[in-house]
């Protein structure tokens, strides 16, 4: 594997781990309590049915998520009859899904990035990831923007010129495709689990908790790979996950056009706001190498199944809802949603940019017109090496410790508000993102506190709030 081992046994100030205060140990250090274990087993068994419930509610109950519960409680329907009415697995769906995944694997593996050669501001091609807990720095081929552009260009070429397949085909096979996505999600998670025991990519970066279910769900291997370049995290999150997001929205838009003869402004807003978010992700794919998914999370069911099923099915609920409810917003409502989404995006992007700039320049940069302020900190990797880092305390990072999440939550609320106020279902996303990001704050801070020890405490004293100053 193309990975460079960079170990720093001595700090920049010539201090070793034996001298002075011991820096904290980095890496996942979670003991599995009973509550976590029960949650893990419940999620492994029931998460696919949660996804099914939302999609089924649209399919059978016009997107009402309470109606099936009322009918079940009054004995007007049964789980079996709901199940019987839902389309089952089909080989046509399996073929569509296999072609889709194979095409994305082909683009990921066989089409090296050329965009960075024409657009100097774009960072693509072979890039370094962040240092892993074992002290490795992996190399990645960044070509997501190019793959996104090719995939979407082909969708438009098909819809307006070639007609190889109906531009609504995904919608027409939505539930059968969900079973295929589940098969892939569970298969890849199981494969990653077995691989971690039998042929790990880097055994020093494996983490076993002693609990098989927790290991399966949260992953053992840090950066599992096949061969030199097929990186599970980068591929599954980016391609069957995020490339699919905007593509699915296009299928929904086409379905709305087919059913009603026009496209509503709400559908356009959802498509545009989510496309900005997705394009931002691919434009900054190198930055993604430095986020929690890549830098801290191990690859298990949480990422594998989540990327294959949860992300494409539940992140696109607004578009699905608008197929069943073609909401036309007033100009004032549409403008308010657009503004909320754009301001949220501005905060999200600027906060992430500030941290990225700060880390790239090792603190020698100015933020909001002033020299960046920060806290110096040190940590120890699994090989015993001592490393130094800095935590930014100015700009958005001085407002709260995760103001980038606050921006993300504003964007998420904008997607939901674009669907009007007729049903709860499109608001699932903001509820989910709030839980996800609050939980992520807590997980991340637990990890950072383990990693930086007393330095982290100095940082939380300097920036006391997590998301909203004065509130949380
Ligand atoms: P962050 O990008 O906020 O990364 C957290 C890491 O940044 C920490 O572990 C720490 O890593 C470093 N860090 C923390 N504080 C500072 C500081 N003050 N100065 C410098 N570095 C700091 O978190 P995520 O990776 O979770 O999120 C990335 C983006 O993705 C966010 O904007 C989030 O909103 C978005 N996101 C979207 C999701 C979605 O489903 N739509 C899901 C999850 C995230 P280190 O060890 O390097 O110090």
CB 392 less than 6 A from any atom of ligand 1:
yes
pTM of the complete model: 0.88
Give mean pLDDT in consecutive 10-residue pieces for the chain, a chain of 472 residues.
Answer: 37 36 51 79 94 97 97 96 96 97 97 94 92 86 96 97 94 96 97 95 86 91 93 93 96 97 98 97 90 86 96 97 97 98 97 92 93 92 83 95 96 98 96 94 89 92 92 86
Structural domain boundaries of the chain?
90-328, 331-471
Q: Closest Cα partner for 134 from 221, 223, 205? A: 205
Angle at 54 between CA 212 and CA 243, to 5 degrees: 75
How much is the pLDDT for 470?
84
CB 348 less than 6 A from any atom of ligand 1:
yes
CB 391 less than 6 A from any atom of ligand 1:
yes
Residue of the CA atom closest to atom 39 of ligand 1: 433
Q: Which atom of ligand 1 is nearest to the CA of 311?
A: 40
Residues with Cβ within 8 Å of 338's Cβ and at least 6 positions away in sequence, in order, are: 269, 273, 414
Q: Which atom of ligand 1 is nearest to the CA of 130?
A: 47
How much is the pLDDT for 358?
94
Q: Which atom of ligand 1 is nearest to the CA of 440?
A: 26
Q: Which of 288, 357, 404 to mutate to test the pocket of ligand 1 (most atoms within 8 A of CB)?
A: 404
Residue of the CA atom closest to atom 12 of ligand 1: 391
Q: Which atom of ligand 1 is nearest to the CA of 402?
A: 3
Q: Which atom of ligand 1 is nearest to the CA of 291?
A: 25
Residue of the CA atom closest to atom 13 of ligand 1: 391
How much is the pLDDT for 48?
96
Residue 10 vs residues 199, 205, 467: alpha-carbon distances, Å: 32, 22, 36
């Amino acid at each position: 594997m193309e990975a460079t081992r960079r170990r720093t046994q001595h700090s920049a100030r010539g201090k070793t781990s034996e001298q002075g205060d011991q820096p904290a140990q980095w890496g996942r250090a979670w003991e599995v309590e009973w509550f976590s274990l029960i949650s893990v087993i419940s999620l492994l068994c029931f998460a696919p049915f949660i996804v099914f419930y939302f999609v089924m509610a649209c399919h059978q109950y016009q997107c009402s998520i309470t109606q099936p519960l009322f009918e079940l409680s009054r004995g007007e329907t049964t789980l079996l009859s709901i199940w019987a009415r839902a389309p089952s697995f089909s080989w046509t769906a399996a073929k569509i899904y296999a072609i889709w995944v194979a095409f994305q694997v082909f683009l990921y593996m066989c089409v090296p990035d050329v965009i960075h050669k024409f657009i100097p501001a774009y960072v693509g091609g072979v890039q370094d990831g962040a240092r892993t807990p074992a002290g490795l720095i992996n190399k990645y081929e960044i070509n997501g923007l190019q793959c996104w552009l090719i995939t979407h260009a082909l969708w438009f070429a098909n819809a307006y010129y070639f007609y190889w397949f109906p531009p609504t085909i995904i919608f027409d096979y939505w539930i059968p495709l969900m079973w295929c996505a589940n098969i892939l999600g569970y298969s890849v998670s199981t494969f990653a689990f077995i691989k971690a025991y039998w042929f790990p990519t880097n055994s020093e970066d494996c983490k076993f908790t002693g609990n098989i279910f927790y290991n399966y769900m949260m992953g053992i291997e840090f950066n599992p790979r096949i061969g030199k370049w097929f990186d599970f995290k980068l591929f599954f999150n980016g391609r069957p996950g995020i490339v699919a997001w905007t593509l699915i929205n296009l299928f929904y838009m086409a379905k709305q056009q087919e059913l009603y003869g026009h496209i509503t402004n709400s559908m356009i807003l959802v498509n545009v706001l989510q496309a900005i978010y997705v394009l931002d992700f691919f434009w900054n794919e190198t930055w993604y190498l430095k986020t929690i998914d890549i830098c801290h999370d191990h690859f298990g069911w949480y990422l594998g199944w989540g990327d294959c099923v949860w992300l494409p099915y539940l992140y696109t609920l607004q578009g699905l809802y608008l197929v069943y409810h073609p909401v036309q917003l007033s100009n004032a409502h549409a403008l308010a949603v657009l503004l909320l989404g754009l301001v949220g995006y501005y905060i999200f992007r600027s906060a992430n940019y500030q941290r990225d700039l700060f880390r790239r320049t090792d603190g020698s940069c100015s933020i909001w017109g002033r020299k960046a302020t920060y806290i110096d900190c040190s940590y120890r990797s699994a090989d015993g090496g001592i490393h130094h880092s800095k935590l930014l305390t100015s700009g958005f990072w001085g407002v709260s410790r995760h103001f980038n999440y606050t921006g993300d939550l504003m964007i998420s609320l904008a997607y939901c508000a674009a669907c009007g106020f007729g049903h709860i279902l499109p608001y699932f996303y903001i509820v989910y993102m709030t839980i996800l990001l609050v939980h992520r704050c807590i997980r991340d801070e637990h990890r950072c506190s383990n990693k930086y020890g007393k330095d982290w405490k100095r940082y939380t004293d300097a920036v006391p709030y997590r998301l909203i100053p004065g509130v949380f």
